[in-house]
Amino acid sequence: MTSPFGLIQFDGDKTLQALQGQCTQSVTSLTSAEALLVAFCDPKGRMYGSGRLLQYEGIISLITPLDQAAVLLKRLRPFLLLSKVSARLTSIAVSLVCSPALPPGVIQCSDKSIMAGEFGETQWEIGDGSHTHDPEADLKRLHAGLGFVRQESCELCIPQQAHYQMLGGVNFDKGCYTGQEVIARLEYLGQAKKYLFRYQNVAAAPGEIIEIDGTDCTVFDSTKTRKEQVALILAPVTSKSEQLTGVPFTITRQVKGQRPVKLR
């Protein structure tokens, strides 16, 4: 199967400083042993891109869905140019496979490729064209609760609605970045009205609207094989629909709040 993921590479001495002001993670001290889950948000805190950021031999790269890569680059470039940083989508092979040897976010390098652990007991293989992207691996990461921003689900979710705070994709101790005010407010004081649930009834593409018990719910990320399909869809947190199942972890605030403020 042709991989739906690609690799963006950045070039410039101030790459990490430039990305620090645009993503939800603290990346200025990124090491070659980790691949950080990150999200890029608009001023309203809504995600327009996401992926795994890594560094190898001094090169900063981002694993991200191919169908959203061009939009992500277009929106980042004005900020990167201010720091004299360039970015481009490469032709380097990126595949997600089902033979994991590493925990999520941990990197290991060989002569042929870079390997990075991912949720759902899956693993990224970067630079080795002999590996084929496995749709079963996408099923596993979606079942584990990890979705990525796709072209048709751009600006659908605030990171907490996509559970990025539970998956290590948001740092609440870092300084300012685009969208931080809304994201921090939700974590300290807020109460999300919607978040992602797993949906398996019928095949559904990102951006597709599905009616669940009379409520229109939008698909964030999805995949299908001959035997199974799964989607992560944005639905009311109060939903008791039998068509939906929760993500496989307890959703809690990472920062203790004081007074609840409901945010959509």
As given in the structure block, the two tokens for residue 42 are 């608009």
Share of the chain above pLDDT 70, in %: 96
- Report pLDDT for 253: 82
Q: What is the pLDDT of residue 223?
A: 97
State yes or no: pLDDT of 262 exceeds 80.
Answer: no
Residue 111 reports pLDDT greater than 90? no
pLDDT at 157: 97
- Give pLDDT tens digits for 127-141: 988 889 999 999 999
> By percentage, how much of the chain surpasses pLDDT 90?
84
* DSSP line for 143-168: HTT-----GGGTT---GGGGTTTTTT
SS3 198: strand
99 pLDDT band, cuts 50/70/90, is confident
pTM equals: 0.94
Q: What's the pLDDT at 258? A: 55
Q: Are 100 and 122 in contact (CB under 8 A)?
A: yes
What pLDDT was estimated at residue 65?
Answer: 98
What average pLDDT does this structure show over 166-170? Answer: 97
Structural element, H or E, at residue 11: strand 5-11
Question: What pLDDT shows up at residue 172?
Answer: 94
Whether the pLDDT of residue 200 is over 90: the answer is: yes
The sign of the CA dihedral 74, 139, 165, 219 is positive
Does 56 have pLDDT greater than 80?
Answer: yes
Where are the domains positioned within the chain?
5-93+142-189, 191-263
5-93+142-189 homologous superfamily: Probable tRNA modification gtpase trme; domain 1 (3.30.1360.120)
Residue 257 — pLDDT band, cuts 50, 70, 90? Answer: low
Q: Please name the residues in contact with 72: beta carbons below 8 A apart, sequence gap of 6 or more.
A: 8, 40, 48, 49, 64
Q: In this predicted structure, what is the pLDDT of residue 225?
A: 93
Q: How far apart are CA 206 and CA 115, in angstroms?
A: 27
* Structure-token match 């990197």, residue found: 107
Does residue 216 register a pLDDT over 90? yes
Could you tell me if 158 and 263 are in contact, meaning their C-beta atoms sit under 8 angstroms apart?
A: yes
Burial of 75 (0-12, 13-18, 19+ CB in 10 A): middle
pLDDT at position 180, please?
96
Q: Quick one: pLDDT band at residue 179, thresholds 50, 70, 90?
A: very high
pLDDT of residue 252: 86
- Residue bearing tokens 């032709």: 91
d(CA 117, CA 34): 9
Q: Identify the pLDDT of residue 130.
A: 84
The mean predicted confidence, pLDDT, of the chain is: 94
- 107 φ, ψ to 5°? -110, 145
Local structure of residue 132 (DSSP, 8 states): P
**Across residues 195-215, what is the average pLDDT?**
95
50-72 exposure pattern, b = at least 16 Cβ within 10 A, e = fewer: bbbbbbeeeebbbbbbbbbbeeb
pLDDT in tens, 73-91: 999 999 999 999 999 999 9
